[in-house]
């Protein structure tokens, strides 16, 4: 288990960055699954992630250098003569294979992220809960004692004073 210290402003920013990164990865996976779906199954609206796309593109491109860039494929097509129908079918097969490899990598990444999150939660959540329950216990003890002093102590003091007055008479 990690010796986890209380959160500060930096860790809040790190958590927000991590949440953002996980959200971006989920968005990429959803977009990728939507791209491979038949046209009738594609959603009418696609989320506009603005500046999130370049970051995800960089991650995916760095992940597998063997997948050609679209610009490389376009240059290759311009420089090569028109292939025979059998060769065209073979090129389409390579493209499908490349997509299959990319999908496999994305599924592996998704599985890895889910496993790491589950492992982190199983290791860290008990510590977090214990720490928060200890804080709650201390706060309740302090508030209960303060309430006892404010409400019960005057009543008990009055009863004791009354008994002492009865004894003295």
Q: What is the predicted pLDDT for the residue at 106?
A: 93
Does the residue 61 lie in any domain? yes
Q: Which domain holds residue 131?
A: 9-168
The answer to whether residue 42 scores a pLDDT higher than 50 is: no
Cβ atoms of residues 56 and 20 within 8 Å: no
Residue 63 located in a structural domain: yes
Dist CA 112 CA 144 (whole Å): 47
State the pTM of this model. 0.34
In a domain, 3, yes or no: no
Residue 62 included in any domain:
yes
Structural domain count, the chain: 1
**Half-sphere exposure (Cβ direction) of 123: Cα atoms closer than 13 Å:** 10
Cα three-residue angle 123-129-131, rounded to 5 degrees:
105
pLDDT grade for 68, boundaries at 50, 70 and 90: low
Instruction: Name the most confidently modeled range: 20-34, 54-68, 98-112, 128-142.
Output: 128-142
Is 2 a domain residue?
no
- pLDDT at residue 85 is higher than 90: no
The answer to whether residue 66 is domain-embedded is yes
127, part of any domain: yes
Q: Which phi and psi angles does 8 have, rounded to 5°?
A: -125, -175
Give one word for 50, left, alpha or beta, with left for phi > 0 and alpha for psi -120 to 50: left
CA dihedral 96, 98, 103, 108 (to 10 degrees): 150
Are 114 and 29 a contacting pair, CB within 8 Å?
A: no
- Asked, for residue 94, whether it belongs to a domain, the answer is yes
Residue with tokens 């720490």: 131
Point out the least confidently predicted range of 53-57, 69-73, 80-84, 102-106: 53-57
């Amino acid at each position: 288990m990690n010796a986890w210290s209380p959160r500060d402003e930096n860790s809040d920013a790190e958590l927000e960055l991590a949440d953002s990164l996980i959200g971006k990865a989920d968005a990429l996976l959803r977009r990728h699954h939507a791209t491979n779906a038949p046209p009738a199954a594609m959603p009418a609206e696609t989320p506009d992630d603005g500046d999130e796309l370049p970051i995800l593109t960089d991650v995916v491109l760095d992940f597998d250098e063997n997948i050609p860039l679209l610009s490389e494929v376009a240059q290759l097509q311009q420089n090569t003569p028109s292939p025979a129908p059998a060769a065209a079918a073979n090129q389409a097969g390579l493209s499908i294979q490349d997509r299959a490899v990319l999908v496999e990598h994305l599924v592996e990444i998704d599985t890895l992220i889910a496993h790491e999150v589950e492992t982190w939660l199983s290791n860290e959540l008990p510590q977090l809960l214990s720490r928060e329950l200890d804080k709650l216990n201390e706060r309740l003890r302090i508030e209960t004692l303060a309430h006892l002093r404010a409400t019960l102590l005057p009543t008990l003091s009055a009863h004791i004073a009354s008994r002492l007055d009865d004894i003295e008479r």
